[in-house]
């Protein structure tokens, strides 16, 4: 493939991004916040279309698999003369530590990262950013992805520790580590330095303390997304015996679930717990709205965190809308959109890193 010659240096470098596996738009929104134009997002989940287009000015949602995207179609999305940026987060379940022993069994999503690499090989792209779980580094498919970038003439850091980001170092109030790779054919590129020292890490209180109080099963009249799932009478008693940062081991014996009394269950303390006001939250998963699915209990109210609170911990703005007015706020659907999203703040960090790089390349 013949590459375009680089444009001559100008006072301002125009650039446009396309977001693969865009979901509800977390990465796209962060790029826009950083001043990076985004033309299009691709995803196979039609439930994401409204959230993506409504909240991300000018970006269009394509309900299409990346496996069916051709280099010709991709290149046509970029305005003439713009630096071409390709970003994305291929589904990470096959590599995640949360799938544990099932990871090697579920291979249907593995080729998606290869399709990302295919487009890098065949399309004329200038800058690439890929986000995923750190466990991906241990797999050959990641090394193959790096080989694709190298052979296509991209610059990127090869130091594994520099490829992994601890999100609180960049202002996210969530214990979350992510693999974030930025690569450029224009010259060396790295992420911007951390913006928050450990002493300045944001915590749950910083982002959730001011939200209206809710009971389990209640919906906030002013914000339909600020809704909490119901609790059974047993789980209501359990959460009342739960302390911030504690586990089910704090409960009276009569409330401990049978599965946790077994030898195999005693090694899973990080469920049925409350968050702590003065610390970042645990990693937000697609099941964050369920009290029994992790340490997702509210620090002091007797309920799991709401859909809105989960979105805020993923750094979505409080105004971010996931369904049309009057639409159904399904816990499973919105939980999936929020939990699978690239945190908006992390997308902004990627965008600022690219902007800094382009300034140095002018």
**Residues classed as catalytic:** 92
C-beta atoms surrounding 151 within 10 Å: 10
Tell me the three state secondary structure of residue 135: helix
CA 20 – CA 41 distance, rounded (Å):
6
Q: Identify the helix (H) or strand (E) that includes residue 357.
A: helix 344-361
For residues 347 and 26, what is the distance between their CA atoms, to the nearest angstrom? 7
What is the residue whose two structure tokens read 């010659």?
A: 5
What CA dihedral angle connects 118, 121, 124 and 127, to 10 degrees?
Answer: 90
- If one counts every other C-beta atom within 10 angstroms of the C-beta of residue 319, the result is 7
Q: What is the enclosing helix (H) or strand (E) of 62?
A: strand 60-63
Please report which residue ranges of 164-277 form alpha helices under DSSP H: 204-208, 233-240, 258-261
The residues near 347 (Cβ < 8 Å, ≥ 6 apart) are 26, 27, 28, 29, 30, 31, 33, 34
Query: CB-based contacts of 323: which residues, under 8 Å, 6+ apart?
Result: 50, 51, 224, 225, 329, 334
Q: How far is CA 142 from CA 32, 112, 262, 308, in A?
A: 27, 12, 38, 34
- Specify the DSSP class assigned to residue 195: S
Pairing outcome for strands 127-132 and 83-88:
parallel
Q: How many CB atoms lie within 10 A of CB 37?
A: 17
CA atoms within 13 A on the CB side of 100: 1
Q: Which two tokens stand for residue 219?
A: 């919906």
What are the backbone dihedrals phi and psi of residue 357, each rounded to the nearest 5 degrees, phi first? Answer: -60, -45
């Amino acid at each position: 493939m013949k590459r375009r010659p680089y444009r001559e240096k100008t006072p301002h470098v125009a650039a446009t991004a396309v977001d693969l596996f865009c979901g509800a738009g977390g990465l796209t929104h962060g790029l826009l916040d950083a001043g990076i134009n985004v033309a299009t997002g691709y995803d196979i989940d039609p439930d994401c279309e409204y959230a993506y287009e409504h909240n991300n000015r000018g970006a269009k949602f394509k309900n299409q698999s990346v496996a069916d995207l051709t280099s010709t179609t991709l290149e046509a999305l970029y305005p003439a003369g713009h630096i071409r940026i390709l970003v994305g987060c291929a589904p990470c379940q096959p590599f995640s530590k949360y799938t544990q022993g099932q990871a090697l069994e579920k291979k249907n999503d593995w080729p998606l990262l290869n399709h990302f690499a295919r487009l890098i090989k065949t399309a004329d792209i200038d800058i690439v950013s890929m986000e995923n779980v750190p466990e991906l580094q241990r797999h050959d498919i990641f090394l193959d992805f790096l080989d694709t970038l190298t052979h296509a003439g991209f610059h990127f850091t090869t130091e594994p520790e520099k490829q992994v980001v601890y999100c609180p170092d960049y202002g996210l109030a969530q214990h979350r580590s992510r693999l974030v790779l930025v690569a450029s054919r224009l010259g060396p590129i790295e992420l911007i330095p951390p913006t928050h020292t450990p002493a300045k890490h944001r915590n749950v209180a910083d982002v959730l303390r001011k939200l209206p109080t809710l009971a389990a099963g209640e919906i906030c009249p002013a914000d339909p997304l600020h809704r909490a799932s119901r609790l059974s009478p047993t789980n209501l008693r359990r959460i009342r015996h739960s302390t911030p940062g504690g586990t089910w081991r704090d409960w009276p014996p009569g409330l401990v679930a049978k599965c946790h009394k077994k030898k195999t269950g005693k090694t899973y303390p990080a469920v049925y717990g409350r968050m702590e006001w003065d610390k970042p939250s645990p990693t937000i998963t697609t099941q964050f709205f369920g009290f029994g699915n992790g340490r997702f209990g509210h620090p002091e109210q007797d309920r799991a965190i709401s859909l809105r609170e989960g979105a805020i911990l993923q750094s979505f703005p409080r105004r971010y809308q996931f369904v049309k007015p009057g639409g159904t706020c399904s816990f499973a659907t919105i939980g999936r959109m929020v939990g699978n999203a690239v945190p908006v703040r992390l997308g902004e960090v990627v965008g600022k890193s690219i902007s800094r790089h382009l300034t140095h390349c002018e």
